[in-house]
Amino acid sequence: MSLSATLQVILNPLASGGAWRARAGQGVVAPYIVFTFAGSPNDNVIDGPPTAQNTRLQVDIYATTSAEADSITAAVVAAMQAAADAKDFGCWSINSPRDEPDPDTRLFRVIAEFSIWT
């Protein structure tokens, strides 16, 4: 299964509006999750291609209240840790989640970032 498909399985049940890659579907009602792959350098080695790939992942949680956003954020962090514990992939939080309110939708938005190794 691809990393995108694995993340879909992990994140989708955490918000009633589901989890979406890159952008939410039209008409989706909050709360929902959007995950985005951010560029990461390749760690090339002299004797061939790298044996592991590092991907920086941004997870945006959109909710109607700050409490709902915080609850879903905690669930995302726990689910990512559980996936790492299950050896689905290596996963480390890059920094603590941060608030980024969305002025267009007027939703509460929390961003969590992870470093994933596959």
CB atoms within 10 A of CB 94: 12
Domains within the chain, CATH numbers bracketed: 7-41+52-117 (3.30.2000.10)
Distances (CA, A) of 8 to 13, 18, 45, 102, 106: 9, 9, 31, 23, 25
- Model pLDDT, residue 49: 74
Residue 31, pLDDT > 80, answer yes
Using pLDDT thresholds of 50, 70 and 90, give the confidence band for residue 39. confident
Contacts of 61 (CB under 8 A, 6+ apart): 15, 31, 33, 69, 72, 73, 76, 109, 110, 111, 112
Contacts of 44 (CB under 8 A, 6+ apart): 50
| Backbone dihedral region for residue 29 (phi beyond 0: left; psi -120 to 50: alpha; all else: beta) | beta
pLDDT digits over 42-100, tens only?
Answer: 666 778 777 778 899 999 999 999 999 999 999 999 999 999 999 999 999 998 999 99
Token pair of 7, please? Answer: 């993340």
